Structure 1
């Protein structure tokens, strides 16, 4: 016979907070109910539990209802202490915990928002809560909407941006934003500041350079500033129109080697990749002056800058190359090559010769790969008048260039090998009869092959030394 419970309990379906689920999670419900009911009334408790689940299913199957056991008023405090359940009537005193997507412990006296997922951890005996499945879906969807809103541009914002663009493109608007140059100059003059354009600066430099009262130190400083200016193509062309190029060429004839060096530096920078200035320089007699300086006894630092100016003047300019050959340029270079024991000038001379040979070959090959236009035909015609190969063979360069292989510098050897390959079509007979060249190639190949193998051991591939080995192999193949 079932006994009547010692305490009168009532069961109600409260707000949709689900610390205890009715479907598939009845273990905790049984524990809570059995703690509030005497042990002799187990049958009545089971009936009561089934009745609660029936009520929950009638409320609505879409919402996860919760089962809350509420005792009568007289035993509220005692029941709260035993079961850890807060009644609906004192809802304002609840401590509501905010679930996340991770499980967190639910302490006694804490409530959870609707839709939360609550479970009993059987290992720790603690209740745990996290966001329910619907909440997780809503949370991710909400954040995606926020990100989408931040990455999109409204129609009003687009209209305002287009309006601002039109205002910025308005000439009146531009004029109102920027002050005229004359007004800026007046303001700067009041501040004792001078605003000059590049043309004005160059004119001032040239005027001071013409002044006979200018000291050598001042002229060196002026030439240094001028060299900085003529790196720009427009400034270099302005130098010619202002008569400054003639001043620079005159500086090459100075008795002070420092002025010769600085003038050659300015000339080389001005003619570099600037066809208009190259033509003006050849017409002014700069090439003959440079060859004269190289043929006379001069300090090494002067010859370096003169070679720089000559190489810049001849690059991609067949007209200047033809004049260079007709004025004995290769003979001057060969004498300079033999006199140089350090190898610095030798390397620059060989590099310049290699560039001249490569330019002519590239122009000839380009005509085979495309339908040549009038400009290309004219360039081919100009390069055909440059008899560089014959001059190199006649002046003994087939035997001079291999001497650079005796250097201990890897860079010098590489440049010599590239020049030897470019000269191979006209120098093969001399190469084959030159025993010192054959011996040097075998020695260098073994030396660089060991370096390549050492680099491969440490995981380096396609190294610089492997390129040198490839150059030696290519030259040996041509010599067979």
Structure 2
């Protein structure tokens, strides 16, 4: 008996080691990948370690660049690029070039090997301008200069080091939030300036828990909720949603603050397609899609496994309400067919977004996300309506949803 127990104990230890190894492998795989969300709410993932070749490639946000590579910086965009060091220079210290775009000839001219300080000096000039602008009244004559500076700053903060530098500059985040606010008194800055300010905030913090934490402690979440609530331009509101998503995605404290400030209700109450505030059907549809994707991220347990129980309860209750809202919007959508400009094939992009989010809710909150018999009938009838359409993606998604929920 003792031998049997001892053998069983060894098996348990071995199994535990196997499980730990599996978990470690999964964690390592997750840590080896960076995922970002762009201003359109589209997610893209890429390796955390830069994979160098003989050709220059863009260094993506958050990527670690191995030593002994040939690195250059395009001063027009602030974009860093890298490649393998040419064979003749192999083993030499890292080389940095500053590259300027020749717009007239659509060529690139290598100015000279220059230190990183040239890039840093320009960064400081832009930060100083943002600090000065964010602390004074709106000057309409300064709109263009501000927009150009923010556009340049937006490209530079894709570099994680520059993003950290911007965040650590006292008053920089506050200035950006002030510029982006539609409630700026007595008047707000231009639409382009407001959009760029929110894009910079979102770009600066995404994929960086440390910068997310600093932005959270500096009050970025409540500021962006107010900005989104007061915004009257659909395209600009979409940039505020992007910044909120970047701040809260995977960050438990920022997400908890968003939930406790009634952020879910405020965001979900914005129905761009029925709003009398927003103008422009195309931009309103894009904003609607961004909002649905953002709320989908908040409700996705895989993205927020460490959310405190109090907020998790609020999220679960909201999931039931949002489930009903999505079903209603899907069934009552006035959009029948959009035309893809490239292929001229019919698409149902917005309905696909609703359908995918509704399916996630059904899987994650099966107890609270219930579908009425009327909605199930609508799904059956809609499937018959589009059965012979050319939109294969919508047709297949609808068929899968029907089979899993009939």
What's the TM-score bracket when you normalise by the shorter of the two chains? 0.5 to 0.7
**Which has the higher relative contact order, 1 or 2, with Cα contacts under 8 A spaced 6 or more apart?**
2
Q: Which has the larger radius of gyration?
A: 1
State the alpha-carbon separation in 1 of the partners of residues 399 and 88 from structure 2.
66
- Structure 2 SS opposite 1:451: coil
- Structure 1 SS opposite 2:232: coil
322, 325, 335: which one aligns with 2:269: 335
Conservation of the 8 A alpha-carbon contact between 2:249 and 2:297: yes
The superposition leaves residues 95-139 of structure 1 with CA deviations (integer Å, 9 ceiling, x where unpaired) of xxxxxxxxxxxxxxxxxxxxxxxxxxxxxxxxxxxxxxxxxxxxx
Partner of 1:197: 118
Partner of 2:394: 468
State the alpha-carbon separation in 1 of the partners of residues 265 and 97 from structure 2.
58
Partner of 1:351: 293
Q: Please tell me whether residue 208 in structure 1 is matched to residue 129 in structure 2.
A: yes
Point out the structure with the larger helix share.
1
The superposition leaves residues 155-203 of structure 1 with CA deviations (integer Å, 9 ceiling, x where unpaired) of xxxxxxxxxx9996687xx79xx8999xxxxxxxxx9x99953322111
Q: 1:257 to 1:290 in 2, by over 3 A?
A: farther
5 Å-filtered alignment, 1:375-390, equals: 380-382=305-307, 386-387=311-312, 389-390=315-316
Conservation of the 8 A alpha-carbon contact between 1:229 and 1:235: yes
Conservation of the 8 A alpha-carbon contact between 1:226 and 1:266: yes
Partner of 2:258: 324
5 Å-filtered alignment, 1:75-154, equals: none
- Structure 1 SS opposite 2:270: helix
Q: Please tell me whether residue 227 in structure 1 is matched to residue 166 in structure 2.
A: no
Q: How many pairs are equivalent?
A: 271
Q: 1:319 to 1:211 in 2, by over 3 A?
A: closer
State the alpha-carbon separation in 2 of the partners of residues 319 and 330 from structure 1.
15
Conservation of the 8 A alpha-carbon contact between 1:330 and 1:391: no
Per the normalisation by structure 1, the TM-score is 0.49
Partner of 1:433: 372
Conservation of the 8 A alpha-carbon contact between 2:180 and 2:198: yes
Partner of 2:234: 300
380, 384, 388: which one aligns with 1:442: 380
The superposition leaves residues 277-315 of structure 1 with CA deviations (integer Å, 9 ceiling, x where unpaired) of 211211111111111122225222221211111122222
- Structure 2 SS opposite 1:265: helix
Could you list the runs of 5+ residues in structure 2 that have no partner in the other structure? 1-85, 99-111, 276-280, 339-347
State the alpha-carbon separation in 1 of the partners of residues 96 and 207 from structure 2.
36
State the alpha-carbon separation in 2 of the partners of residues 233 and 249 from structure 1.
20
The superposition leaves residues 219-263 of structure 1 with CA deviations (integer Å, 9 ceiling, x where unpaired) of 121111111111122211111122322321222333225332221
352, 364, 375: which one aligns with 1:414: 352
The CA deviation at 1:470 is 3.6
Q: 1:403 to 1:257 in 2, by over 3 A?
A: farther
- Structure 2 SS opposite 1:449: coil
Per the normalisation by structure 2, the TM-score is 0.57
Q: Please tell me whether residue 423 in structure 1 is matched to residue 392 in structure 2.
A: no
The CA deviation at 1:386 is 4.2
Q: 1:167 to 1:468 in 2, by over 3 A?
A: closer
State the alpha-carbon separation in 2 of the partners of residues 220 and 267 from structure 1.
15
Conservation of the 8 A alpha-carbon contact between 2:319 and 2:361: no
State the alpha-carbon separation in 2 of the partners of residues 314 and 416 from structure 1.
21
Q: 1:230 to 1:317 in 2, by over 3 A?
A: same
Q: 1:447 to 1:232 in 2, by over 3 A?
A: farther
State the alpha-carbon separation in 2 of the partners of residues 272 and 423 from structure 1.
25
Partner of 1:133: none
- CA root-mean-square deviation: 3.6
The CA deviation at 1:428 is 6.8
Q: Please tell me whether residue 399 in structure 1 is matched to residue 337 in structure 2.
A: no
State the alpha-carbon separation in 1 of the partners of residues 96 and 319 from structure 2.
65
